[in-house]
Amino acid sequence: MFSDLYDVISTLWCWRWPVAAGKITAVEIEPFGIKPDKDTIRLAVAYEFSVGNDGPFTGETFWRPLFPSVKKMLDAKDRLHISQQVLVRYRSDDPSVNRLDRRVWQDL
């Protein structure tokens, strides 16, 4: 329980973590919440990366703009594609705790 809390809190400083080259393995628009509709959709991006000889490590992250729309999600999904190279930030003591670098989201 405390290790899970530590993992979540440590992501607050993820911009200081080391960076590794990764690649996108899946991009999907998915509903979430109790009553999915156009306002409760998000873009799910799965990726993998390696650190030296360790790996592959995997991760999944979600993007939801402030004012979501189906068109905005489809445009974002078209910009991200399987096998696209991305930067991944990882915690040096445990690379299984990781996040996509925020630059991935800037162009969306």
Mean per-residue pLDDT of the chain: 85
- The structure tokens listed for 50 are 């390696």
Can you give the pLDDT at residue 35?
A: 67
Domain boundaries, the chain: 2-106
Beta carbons of 87 and 104 less than 8 angstroms apart: yes
Q: Which of 29-38, 61-70, 89-98 is modeled with the greatest confidence?
A: 89-98
Can you give the pLDDT at residue 38?
A: 54
How far apart are the C-alpha atoms of 17 and 101, rounded to whole Å? 10
Give DSSP secondary structure letters for 61-106.
EEE--SS--HHHHHHHHHHS-TT-EEEEEEETTEEEEEEE-THHHH
- The structure tokens listed for 17 are 């973590």
Residue-wise pLDDT for 21-41, tens only, equals 999 999 999 887 766 555 678
Tokens 């993007």 correspond to what residue?
Answer: 63
